[in-house]
Amino acid sequence: MSHPVGVRTTCPYCGVGCGVVVSSERLLAGHPVEADGITLSGDQQHPANFGRLCSKGSALAETLDIEGRLLYPIVDGQRASWDEALDRVAHGFKKIVAQYGPDAVAFYVSGQLLTEDYYVANKLMKGFIGSANIDTNSRLCMATAVAAHKRAFGADAVPVCYEDIEVADLVVIVGSNYAWAHPVLFQRLAAAKQARPEIQVVVIDPRRTATCDIADLHLAIAPGADAYLFNGLLHYLRREDAIDFAYVEAHVEGFAASFEAARTVSSVPKVAQVCGVSETQVSEFFRMFARTKRTVTIFSQGINQSSSGVDKANAIINVHLATGRIGKPGMGPFSVTGQPNAMGGREVGGLANQLAAHMDFSDAANIDLVARFWNAPHIAKAPGLKAVGMFQAIASEKIKAVWIMGTNPVVSMPDADTVRAALKSCELVVVSDCVQHTDTTACADILLPAAGWGEKDGTVTNSERLISRQRAFLPAAGEAKPDWWIVTQVAQRMGFAEAFPYTQPAQIFREHARLSGFENGIDFENGVGFENKTKRAFDVSALAEMDETQYDALQPLQWPVNSQTPHGIQRLFTDGKFYTPNGKARMVAVTPRLPAVATDADFPLVLNTGRIRDQWHTMTRTGKVPRLNAHLFEPFVQVRARDATSYNLQEGGLAKLSSRHGTMLARVQVSEDQRTGSAFVPIHWSDAFAKLARADALVAAITDPISGQPEFKHTPVKIEPYQPAWQGFALSRERLDFPDTSYCASSQGAAYWRHEIAGGSIPEDWLAWARSAFNRCADWGKSDLLKYLWLEYRDAAMGRYRAACLHDGRLEAVFFIAPDQRLPSREWLSSLFKKSVLAAADLAGLLAARAPSGTAADGGRIVCACFSVGEKTILNGIQAQGLNSAEAIGLKLKAGTNCGSCLPEIRRLIARQA
């Protein structure tokens, strides 16, 4: 058989930016493919992943069916034509601008847009509507790193490349759960460490995470204390004579002031005390750092999402500058990007304080330059509102129209209940999304269907400045259109047709590339520009002349891509020259600050929020994939045993978390991975999947004063057991809609839905309640309700109730209710949905709430998503079959042998048994 030729594209999830090859028989025959029948694999040739994919990437084919997609425009709740919807958007925005001025409107966009989409939206708002009120969810994500890079390097430029993490001798991972959030980079590091065990890995995170699997040292730092640690390190490096004074002299300024600012807490004992870790651990980390030249420091949201995040990031960059560990193989500070195109958004200038192509509003000449390039009549002259301020302005009606593209702020913004209320009262809310029912689309006046991954063409830039193509291989779902097209149409209808003539993404990319090179020459007169350097770091002008064919064939490459480096470059600052007026990098004097709001007697716990392995953000895509839902299927809160005892919480019970802003319900997980005094909840659940489970309802809208990035990792909360009158679960073929539940988390399994439920009051008639949940579920053609057979078992004295609903012998739904958590295994019950007719033994088992004897053993909670291998199966393999390594488990049970994302967890299970 010949090797399948496929479409090469890029994964739409995290900022690693893995190459993906999509193939199918029909594709080979030259047709656009259908969602089913697609096979997908890692692109062996792509320099980000060399063929690897994580659990989310390898399940991409399962997200492509059109179920749940927004298929046509909707205006005021009614299906509308594109013409009607676009006119409404254009006229709505024009009217408000005419009446109240351009700052009365806003766009809130996303690092999940392609560069071409992003460019057009930014140009429309800043160049033509005339306001800089366009901000992006990158404000919640990368704004801190952008600000820190600009302070230190004079430009938002990531110095390192992925290879650096493999050739380093020490990799410090700060505030990043690399194993779950950047899995393929984690795997590259793990493989490098296996080949070269002398690579040392240090993890700095208040939690013990899966990333600690390969750590030689884990500093479970007190939440928010990182700047003290890195300041202390700076002093230690000086004491140990590890500063590279020659480098500092030639290439860095600000050393003395930074050193001075770090004086307050600089001895190892003091640092250890403030950071809440042992002196031995601090000394060990400092020693490793001091003696290892080839060091990369990776940082992510544990640093960025803080009210002093920019200072923290600069404290990290400081130690690299002071030791000259930058611009050389295996060295450098490395801010990893979250979203697939967080970097592309930074390049086009999609943040409200950026203008375009790495220019901002601080220099009138830049504003003039962009105005001339765009031929823009009303260019914005000053920064616009950053995300948090933007939603506050919507709440106070200063902003009267907002267009949200590719993001779900009702779930992901801090103080999310207030954000929802603001949108509900806003005069005009336009939402472009691929998915019809999200917490944010529920607030829209106009819904525009966006083409999704696989349906659109464009480019994305990953964490190492690598520009890759996303390529279409599917026809758009329904009437969906690419975002660049939608914005272009609105721009034309607002009267800007001349500046928005786009009919192809390649046209947009060329313009973007031209702008990046426009008057970006060497400018010695003003002291700017050096050998091999342009004024602005971002320069892809060598791509400005690509024709459509070349654009289609564009191979991944790392900017800058200009006449001096036409093929891009791996590492920046190899010459020790930075993008500051005098060419020197800047160390920033950092005075560490504690989180803005401390815990107190009313709110005694620190709430930390973050990601889980198999879900992407608000689950609009990953939530459709049964095997991704199987790993962690419910919102949970993780606390240490000591806190569980203090607050009367029980493993597996429900807890209510409250802050000054809102509440959340979650399932309790007791784990020694947490620090005492901290609780962790995932960010993924929304009203679309659960009741009262949005983490951001709790989080305060407190931001870093420089970057405007919210403090998502540190909210004072209180926690108490949530004792419902009843609890239980229901499994069903279709999703059910329950009356009277106070808690309900729904997740899609293979051929069934799983609902974990609880209620505050006991229904009068359980059967009527169950029937009602069954009958209420929308669009399921139950014309012959009488044909459904209901079986019941009730033990009123014990408060137990069970029911099963069958249709022609096929199981449709089961309900299990109890006063406590003693409920049967969902795994066995869910397997019954695979049968077209239940056997008598199954039926008896159903009502006895016990699997009939001879049923295959229940594998337990899924650990390996690729091969659906459960925790119990793995534990049994370890105990009964003596499988005592991840390799042995892989050989025997297959677990961990495809994407490898579950290997840390498998190794932990082995360690736990040992």
Ligand X SMILES: Nc1nc2c(c(=O)[nH]1)N[C@H]1C(S)=C(S)[C@@H](COP(=O)(O)OP(=O)(O)OC[C@H]3O[C@@H](n4cnc5c(=O)[nH]c(N)nc54)[C@H](O)[C@@H]3O)O[C@H]1N2
Binding site for ligand SF4 (CB under 6 A): 11, 13-14, 16-18, 49, 53-54, 56-57, 183-184
Shorter beta-carbon distance to ligand SF4: residue 56 or 533: 56
Q: How many of the other CB atoms lie within 10 Å of CB of 829?
A: 25
- Tell me if 154 contacts ligand X by CB under 6 A: no
DSSP sequence for 125-187: IIIII----EEEGGGGTTHHHHHHHHHHHSS------HHHHHH-SEEEEES--HHHHSHHHHH
Q: Does 716 bind ligand X (CB under 6 A)?
A: no
* 282 exposure class (CB count in 10 Å sphere: 0-12, 13-18, 19+): buried
Q: Interface with ligand X includes 461 (CB under 6 A)?
A: no
Task: With beta carbons less than 8 A apart as the criterion, state whether 551 and 509 touch.
Answer: yes
407 binds, among ligand X, ligand SF4, Mo ion, none (CB under 5 to 8 A by kind): ligand X
Question: 215 has which bridge partners?
Answer: none
Please say which residue, 11 or 229, places its beta carbon nearer to ligand SF4. 11
370: left (phi over 0), alpha (psi -120 to 50) or beta: alpha
Which residue shows structure tokens 């005592």? 884
Among 301, 318, 669, 703, binds ligand X (CB under 6 A): 301
Asked if 674 touches ligand X (CB under 6 A), the answer is no
CA dist., res. 145 & res. 692, Å (int)? 32
The residue behind tokens 């676009």 is 86
Minimum CB distance to ligand SF4, residue 889 (Å): 22
Give the strand pairing for 585-586 and 636-639.
unpaired
Q: How far apart are CB 322 and ligand X at their closest, in Å?
A: 20
Task: Rule CB under 6 A: say whether 110 interacts with ligand X.
Answer: yes
**Amino acid symbol at 802:** R
Q: Is residue 405 part of the contact set for ligand X (CB under 6 A)?
A: yes
With respect to ligand SF4, which residue has the nearer C-beta, 613 or 754?
Answer: 613
Nearest residue to 639 via CA among 582, 583, 721: 721
- Residue of the chain from 6, 154, 302, 349 that contacts ligand X (CB under 6 A): 302
Q: Which is nearer to ligand X, 286 or 828 (CB)?
A: 286
Angle in degrees, CA 17, 23, 26, rounded to 5: 145
560 preceded by a cis bond (ω within 30 of 0): yes
Binding residues for ligand X restricted to 253-292, rule: CB under 6 A: none
Stretch that binds ligand X, among 149-157, 297-305, 668-676, 809-817 (CB under 6 A): 297-305
Q: Which H helix or E strand runs over 911?
A: helix 903-913
- In whole angstroms, the minimum distance from the beta carbon of 556 to ligand X comes to 20
Measured from the CB atom, the residue of 17 and 529 that comes closer to ligand SF4 is 17
- How far is 664 from 748, CA to CA, in rounded Å? 22
Do 869 and 897 meet the contact criterion of CB atoms below 8 Å apart?
no
Out of 145, 282, 411, 654, point to the residue binding ligand X (CB under 6 A).
411
Give the range of 77-85, 161-169, 176-184, 742-750 binding ligand X by CB under 6 A: 176-184
Q: Which is nearer to Mo ion, 343 or 371 (CB)?
A: 343
Nearest residue (CB) to ligand X, 562 versus 609: 609
653: partner contacted, choices Mo ion, ligand X, ligand SF4, none (Cβ within 5-8 A by kind): none
What, of ligand SF4, Mo ion, ligand X, none, does residue 864 touch, CB below 5 to 8 Å by kind? none
Comparing CB distances to ligand SF4, the nearer of 183 and 890 is: 183
CA-wise closest residue to 846 among 831, 856, 858, 861: 831
- Binding span for ligand X by CB under 6 A among 173-181, 636-644, 795-803, 843-851: 173-181
* 611 in contact with ligand X (CB under 6 A): yes
Q: Choose which of 140, 428, 692, 702 interacts with ligand X (CB under 6 A).
A: 140
The string over 586-620, giving b where at least 16 C-beta atoms fall within 10 Å of a residue's C-beta and e elsewhere, is: bbbbbebbbbbbebeeebebbbbbbbbbbbbbbbb
Q: Report the C-alpha gap between 570 and 329 in whole angstroms.
A: 10
Four-point Cα dihedral 735, 738, 741, 745, nearest 10:
0
Q: Which stretch binds ligand X (CB under 6 A): 172-180, 488-496, 498-506, 721-729?
A: 172-180
- When the beta carbons of 49 and 438 are compared against ligand SF4, the nearer one is 49
Contact 615, 628 (CB under 8 A): yes
Nearer to ligand SF4, 53 or 173 (CB): 53
Per partner kind, with CB cut-offs from 5 to 8 A, the member of ligand SF4, Mo ion, ligand X, none near residue 11 is ligand SF4
Q: Which residue is nearest to Mo ion (CB)?
A: 338
Query: Residue with the closest Cβ to ligand SF4?
Result: 57
Binding site for Mo ion (CB under 5 A): 141, 338
- Least Å distance, CB 313 to Mo ion, is 15
Assess 683 for contact with ligand X (CB under 6 A).
Answer: yes
Q: How many other C-beta atoms are found inside a 10 Å radius of the C-beta of residue 479?
A: 16
Q: CA angle, 389 as apex, 376 and 121 as ends, to 5°? A: 30
To 5 degrees, how large is the angle CA 257–CA 259–CA 263? Answer: 115
Which residues 14-53 are close enough to bind ligand X by CB under 6 A?
A: 14
Question: Strands 678-682, 605-610: parallel, antiparallel or unpaired by DSSP?
Answer: parallel
C-alpha R_g of the chain: 28
Q: Which of 176, 231, 314, 742 binds ligand X (CB under 6 A)?
A: 176
Question: From the list 712, 726, 815, 833, which residue makes contact with ligand X (rule: CB under 6 A)?
Answer: 712
Q: Does 308 bind ligand X (CB under 6 A)?
A: no
> Are the CB atoms for 544 and 298 separated by under 8 Å?
no
By three-state DSSP, how is residue 359 classified? strand
Measured from the CB atom, the residue of 49 and 459 that comes closer to ligand SF4 is 49
Chosen from ligand SF4, ligand X, Mo ion, none, partner binding at 302 (C-beta under 5 to 8 Å by type): ligand X
For residue 219, list its beta bridge partners: 204
Segment interacting with ligand X, rule: CB under 6 A, options 249-257, 300-308, 581-589, 774-782: 300-308
- Please, which residue, 141 or 225, has the CB nearer to Mo ion? 141
- Give the nearest distance from C-beta 600 to ligand SF4 in angstroms: 39
Report helix angle 387-395 to 416-425, nearest 10: 50
Q: Least distance to ligand SF4 from the beta carbon of 429, Å? A: 30
Provide the 10 A C-beta neighbour count for residue 169: 17
| Binding of residue 454 to ligand X (CB under 6 A) | no
Question: Taking CB under 6 A as the criterion, which residues in 620-649 touch ligand X?
Answer: 620
Q: Which residue's CB is nearer to ligand SF4, number 162 or number 228?
A: 162
Query: What is the smallest separation between the CB atom of 138 and ligand X, expressed in angstroms?
Result: 7
- Start-end of H helices in 713-839: 766-776, 826-831
Residues that bind ligand X (CB under 6 A): 14, 56, 110, 112, 137, 140-141, 174-177, 180-181, 204-207, 209, 221, 223-224, 226, 300-302, 305, 338-339, 405-409, 411-412, 432-435, 438, 450, 452, 483, 608-611, 613, 615-618, 620, 683, 695-696, 699, 712-713
